[in-house]
Structure 1
Amino acid sequence: MCPNISAFLSGLIFALGLGLSGMTDPANVLGFLDIAGGWDFRLAFVMGGAIAVHAALRPLIYKRERPLFAPKFPAFSVSGVDRGLLVGAGLFGVGWGLGGYCPGPALTSFATGATQLLVFVPAMFAGMYLAQVLQARRSASAGTPSLGATPAP
């Protein structure tokens, strides 16, 4: 199976899971975040199920010599908590809390044409682009490759 088909099928399964669990509805997400009011615990079970599948499969995947559709497993240079991580996580959380969407459900629901999604999704992509530009500038000034860069052979 080629990488594009594999990525498409993975995304399709993810989208179906979001839809079946009701997590494309921002009211469910906001209900989860409302711990002082009418807390909706269902998102905790969705996240718990995802974590359980990941925890079970990750050791099996890393027993392989290499991934199915890549020459090697990625090596991440960031291993600790820094200011950029904290700011990014904070912005993500604020956006999630204000909009009720995180990226997956926003893209899954985008086809509905809901006005808030027609604003949220382009703003999300603009934020992703801005984050890449800032990371590339920081990396260039520090003389280190950015996270998305591939090292020269």
Structure 2
Amino acid sequence: MSSAEQSSLFLPLIYLGGLIFGAGLAISGMAKPEIVLDFLQFEDFGLLFVMGGAAVVTGITFAVATRYLDRAPLTGDTYKRRLKSFDRNVVIGGSIFGVGWGLSGICPGAAYASVGIGNYPILWAIAGMFLGAYAQGYWRSRRSTATETVTETPSD
């Protein structure tokens, strides 16, 4: 089964995963920017336990799934490792993400969950995330177009 032939359960399970993720963020308090800011100011280390617990569960799930299943259950794709090189874009993007996280007090996933618990002013941060992603995409497409134009040489 190729990714074009995804299981009919694919979208419902994606929504269920998002629902569980959002509920977990809300229950743990990580959907509240003031709690995340307390973590960033070394006053509350609850976020470490939430992230650590999630990392352990995810790690075990991936270790078991890749050992006993030859294909992903929902997409049918084979399991493979995706290696991302540690380059300048990772450093720059991570730094910008960190500044945005520090200023808004919330990361993207928690921002959406924060709306779910009634924190509507966070919509400004979400709008900023979309604007930032759009600006980066626009800049990258303009840059790649300019690079292609420069690398093309007229033939005589």
> What's the TM-score bracket when you normalise by the shorter of the two chains?
0.7 to 0.9
Superposition TM-score, scaled by structure 1 size? 0.78
- Where structure 2 has 5 or more consecutive residues not aligned to the other structure, the ranges are 1-7, 149-156
C-alpha deviation, 1:108, in angstroms: 1.2
TM-score normalized with structure 2 length: 0.77
Q: Quickly say closer, same or farther: Cα 1:135–1:6, change in 2 above 3 A.
A: farther
1:62 equivalent in alignment to 2:69: no
CA distance in 1, matches of 2:105, 2:132: 17
Higher relative contact order (CA 8 A, sep 6+): 2
Within 1, Cα distance between the matches of 2:29 and 2:66?
A: 32
Distance 2:96 2:80 in 1: 26
CA distance 1:133–1:114, shift in 2 (3 Å): same
Measured against aligned partners, the alpha-carbon deviations of 1:117-140 in whole angstroms (never above 9, x if no partner) come to: 121111112222334445556667
Instruction: Indicate the residue corresponding to 1:41 in structure 2.
Output: 45
Instruction: Confirm whether residue 11 of structure 1 aligns to residue 15 of structure 2.
Output: no
The one-letter code sitting in structure 1 at the alignment partner of 2:34 is A
- The two structures, once aligned, show a CA RMSD in angstroms of 2.3
How high is the sequence identity, in percent, across the aligned residues?
36
* CA distance in structure 2 between the partners assigned to 1:94 and 1:2 by the alignment: 38
What is the aligned residue count? 137
